[in-house]
Amino acid sequence: MNTEIKVYYEDTDASERVYYANYLKFLERGRTDYLYNLGFTHKNILEKYKFYFVVKNCKIDYKKPAYFEDILKITTKIINISKVKILFHQQIKKNEELLVDSEILITPVFFNGKIAKIPNEMLEKFST
């Protein structure tokens, strides 16, 4: 799954490079689009299943910077999934040049903080 974004001034620091923490926002957009592509939204997951996903672990390798007004492509794919976690591999590229390589582990959590289990109907869609 690919998501395209444009780097705005608000995403950059004084050097017009993307501020390092903003890559996390870009990666979140990629994972959200991945859910949307499967027919899920954060809101309908919360309403139907009473849980939401939280980031449990994040590994990012910053290879090269992105700059103001760059057009970036975020590639998102699942590399491991179970009832209680999803491990995503995500990359951010500019014109096929790798800028960021990451693995993001998310887990479903109820409002009380306890781990939820991903329903089979969701797992089936994630596995297609």
Q: Give the model's pLDDT for residue 69.
A: 96
Q: Give the model's pLDDT for residue 53.
A: 96
Q: What are the structural domain ranges in the chain?
A: 2-126
Eight-class DSSP state of 14: T
Task: For the beta carbon of residue 6, count every other beta carbon within 10 angstroms.
Answer: 10
What is the pTM assigned to this prediction? 0.93
Q: Determine the Cα–Cα distance for residues 42 and 45; give it in Å rounded to an integer.
A: 5
Just list the catalytic residues.
Answer: 13
Q: Determine the Cα–Cα distance for residues 34 and 22; give it in Å rounded to an integer.
A: 19
Q: Give the model's pLDDT for residue 9.
A: 95
Pick the CATH number of 2-126 from 3.10.129.10, 3.30.450.40, 3.40.50.720, 3.40.109.10: 3.10.129.10
Which pairing describes strands 52-62 and 2-6: parallel, antiparallel, or unpaired? unpaired
- Contacts of residue 17, Cβ cutoff 8 Å, sequence gap at least 6: 65, 66, 67
Q: Give the model's pLDDT for residue 128.
A: 72
Q: Determine the Cα–Cα distance for residues 91 and 66; give it in Å rounded to an integer.
A: 13
For each of the chain's 128 residues, which pLDDT tens digit applies? 999 999 999 999 999 999 999 999 999 999 999 999 999 999 999 999 999 999 999 999 999 999 999 999 999 999 999 999 999 999 999 999 999 999 999 999 999 999 999 999 999 998 87
